Chain A
Amino acid sequence: MEKNNTLEKINKAIIIGCGRMGAAIGLKMSEMGKDVTVIDQDESAFRKLSKAYGGNSIIGDGTNIAFLRENEISESDLVVCATNDDNTNIFIALMVANIIGVKHVYVRVYDNDQVNLLSKYKINVICPSELSVTAFIYDFKREGTEHENNSN
């Protein structure tokens, strides 16, 4: 319930990095009726956005604080950092959380060592390798119990 409330409160979301993750989150937010902007340096990246996506797409450098301010980042309640480079994502996340003061900041990092570093800030970290391990263990355990059930 708590999570739904948070999601309802979000009006404006900015997604930085239009890879598979950025494009998919952009689409979800747009389907939920949020004001979404996806930012990427490379125009061709926007091809990954679904036809159903109803938000904005802006070409630009997400590490450039002046550029983000021009695009009214201070008015957004959610920023997702989803470029393909950990250092870029961390840099942007720290910038929007600490300098601009965006309330909900999500950052994707491939290197799970960096999770520890970011835990000291009000930033939500998404680490694909950790999620995969969790999914694997969950599946593996379930499969195990299914086998036990079958043998009984």
Chain B
Amino acid sequence: MKIILIEGHRKVYYLLDSLSKRKHHKLVVINQDKDYCKVLSRKFPDAVIIHGDATKNYILEDAQIRDFDLSIHLSYDDKINLVSALSLNKCFNVQRNVTVVNESKNVEVFYGVGIDTTIDTSRVLANIIEQHAFVEKLKTYMPLEDENLILLNLEVSSESNSIGKKIQSLTLPSDAIIAAIFRDKKTIIPNGNTMIESGDRIFVTTLKKVQNKVVKALIG
């Protein structure tokens, strides 16, 4: 896949780190911080690192990113994210644009112009903190569509009441489904007869409104 990454500091570093491990990606980075460009080009010799302003068409022209598959916009300035995403989408035929949105209220502005894959960083972070603060034994939490659907990763401790019970006998709400169980480095796709064991990591897709019941049923 051909990917262009716009701005961002630590975010672009970690993304490059994980993306460059898969050799088949062609990666182009545009960043306004000259010193940081030097750091990135030393660390990621296979990526093309360009120092410049990605809201300027001549920089995008120089970067030769026409018809790329995906653009990722990581600036802390929503205006830069919007203008660069729009330029790539409308003028350089980059069809998929994923952008960070720093101010929650700006999400609708991005939607309004057709940039519909937005990551509302402050809201995502606030949600994760809220989940971890109120749900014990929660390993990870990921909001899916509209934040109403979530993916929970719960760890079954030795005190959990669900140990030794079959999934069909658990009082799990109907708006939740156990998608997978990670046990002894193996992934199990469970059915009603699967028994819960201590140390299991359970992945549940659930509606947000019943998540507390899910947590109670599985690890309470």
Interface membership of B105, Cβ < 8 A: yes
Interface string of B179-216 (1 = CB under 8 A from A): 00000000000000000000000000000000000000
**Chain A contacts of B91 at CB under 8 A?**
116-117
Interface string of B107-123 (1 = CB under 8 A from A): 01100110000000000
Report the bound CA distance from A85 to B55 in whole Å. Answer: 12
Report the bound CA distance from A99 to B80 in whole Å. Answer: 19
Interface residues of B in 84-104 (CB under 8 A from A): 86-87, 90-91
**Chain B contacts of A66 at CB under 8 A?**
105
Interface string of A83-125 (1 = CB under 8 A from B): 0011110110011001100000000000101101100110000
Binding site for A on B (CB under 8 A): 55-58, 77-80, 82-83, 86-87, 90-91, 105-106, 108-109, 112-113
**Chain B contacts of A116 at CB under 8 A?**
57, 91
Seed contacts A88-B79, A113-B57; 6 additional CB < 8 Å A-B pairs: A85-B79, A87-B82, A99-B108, A99-B109, A114-B57, A117-B83
**Chain B contacts of A90 at CB under 8 A?**
79, 82-83
Verify B112–A95 contact, CB threshold 8 A. Answer: yes
**Chain B contacts of A95 at CB under 8 A?**
109, 112
Interface membership of A63, Cβ < 8 A: yes
Verify A113–B58 contact, CB threshold 8 A. Answer: yes
**Chain B contacts of A121 at CB under 8 A?**
113
Report the bound CA distance from A117 to B58 in whole Å. Answer: 13
Mostly, the A contact residues are helix
Interface membership of A64, Cβ < 8 A: yes
Q: How large is the interface on A (under 10, 10 to 19, 20 to 34, 35 or more residues)?
A: 20 to 34
Interface residues of A in 29-59 (CB under 8 A from B): none
The 28 sampled A-B contact pairs (Cβ below 8 Å) are A63-B79, A64-B105, A65-B106, A65-B108, A65-B109, A66-B105, A85-B79, A86-B55, A87-B77, A91-B82, A91-B109, A94-B82, A94-B109, A94-B113, A95-B109, A98-B109, A98-B112, A98-B113, A99-B108, A111-B56, A111-B57, A113-B58, A114-B57, A114-B83, A117-B83, A117-B90, A117-B91, A121-B113
Binding site for B on A (CB under 8 A): 63-66, 85-88, 90-91, 94-95, 98-99, 111, 113-114, 116-117, 120-121
Report the bound CA distance from A99 to B56 in whole Å. Answer: 25
Given the known A-B contacts A65-B105, A116-B91, are A99 and B83 also in contact in the complex, defined by CB atoms under 8 Å?
Answer: no
- Nearest CB of chain B from residue A124's CB, rounded to whole Å: 17
Verify A99–B82 contact, CB threshold 8 A. Answer: no
Given the known A-B contacts A91-B83, A113-B56, are A99 and B90 also in contact in the complex, defined by CB atoms under 8 Å?
Answer: no
**Chain B contacts of A85 at CB under 8 A?**
79
Given the known A-B contacts A65-B108, A99-B108, A99-B109, are A91 and B79 also in contact in the complex, defined by CB atoms under 8 Å?
Answer: yes
CB contact between A87 and one of B80, B90, B112, B113 (< 8 Å): that residue? B80
Please list the 7 inter-chain residue pairs (A to B) with the smallest Cβ-Cβ separation, ordered nearest first: A113-B57, A98-B112, A87-B79, A91-B79, A99-B112, A95-B109, A87-B83
- Nearest CB of chain A from residue B136's CB, rounded to whole Å: 36
Given the known A-B contacts A63-B79, A113-B57, are A94 and B112 also in contact in the complex, defined by CB atoms under 8 Å?
Answer: yes
